[in-house]
Amino acid sequence: MTMTASEKQHKAYRAAMTAVIVEAGGLLGLGETRPEEWVIPVTRAGGLHLGIWAPTSYDRSGVTGVWGRFDYPAVAVAILGEGRVNPCTGKWNHHWGEGETVEGACVQMRHELAALQVVTGKSAPGDTPCSAIDVTRRQA
């Protein structure tokens, strides 16, 4: 069975967004609910759990996205602003329509992750979201 143009775009989207998450220190398979869930263990708002939505041939909506959830929703709201993160659950989702490019979605996600000052690598014992917030300079 040959892939349609839309299916090829969704496959490219999934691969490109996976690369963005890996660049930000994402680890695969540490999710609490889904084995394909990614986790960026240390951000200014604690751990960030991410999943990539790229429809299959069974779903023809054309919508792609990244769903996310922060460990510390109140901190995430303080960083990203009200209305961007659910203050109770930490839900933080992004959707892109059929007319948007894979490259544009990746640029936007990199920008969002930069606002969180994602700290890559393993956290030291005793690290908390509060100590992550105190990180004020970027590492080269």
pLDDT for res 139: 34
In the chain, domain spans: 5-133
Q: pLDDT value at position 70? A: 94
pLDDT, position 89: 92
Contact present, 66 and 52 (Cβ < 8 Å): yes
pLDDT tens-place string over residues 80-96 = 888 999 999 999 988 87
Q: For residue 118, is pLDDT > 90?
A: no
**pLDDT tens digit sequence for 103-112:** 888 998 998 8
- Between the alpha carbon of residue 70 and those of residues 24, 45, 98, the distances in Å are 15, 7, 27
Q: Helices marked H in the chain — which ranges?
A: 5-23, 73-80, 102-115, 129-133
Cβ atoms 55, 49 nearer than 8 A? no
Report the pLDDT value the prediction gives residue 37, as an integer from 0 to 100: 83
Q: Strand order of the sheet with strand 27-28?
A: 27-28, 38-40, 48-53, 64-70, 94-96
